[in-house]
Amino acid sequence: MARSAKDATRFTATTPYASAKPQGQFTPAPVHMGHAAPSGETPQQKIARLRAAAARARTGKESNFDAVVRVG
């Protein structure tokens, strides 16, 4: 079965996709991890420190309504 040029190019991208210039390279923002871990820290202390840091980060983004719902 012969195919026409129209059938062959039916799903080929046309403008604006085919002629669009590629976007710049994505560079994520550097991640700030806070202070370095103290020497001699036990795994339990590390978990407690990381959980406290995560809670502080969440609290900063939390609205008043969310705080009321969380506290009860």
Could you state, in order of their start, the residue ranges of all structural domains in the chain?
Answer: 40-72
Model-level pTM? 0.39
Average pLDDT over residues 5-23: 64
Return the sign of the alpha-carbon dihedral for residues 52, 53, 54, 60.
Answer: positive
Query: pLDDT: is 43 or 7 the higher one?
Result: 43
Question: 58: pLDDT confidence band, cut at 50, 70 and 90?
Answer: confident
Average pLDDT over residues 42-70: 87
| Peptide bond preceding 30 in cis form (omega within 30 of 0) | no
Question: 37: pLDDT confidence band, cut at 50, 70 and 90?
Answer: confident
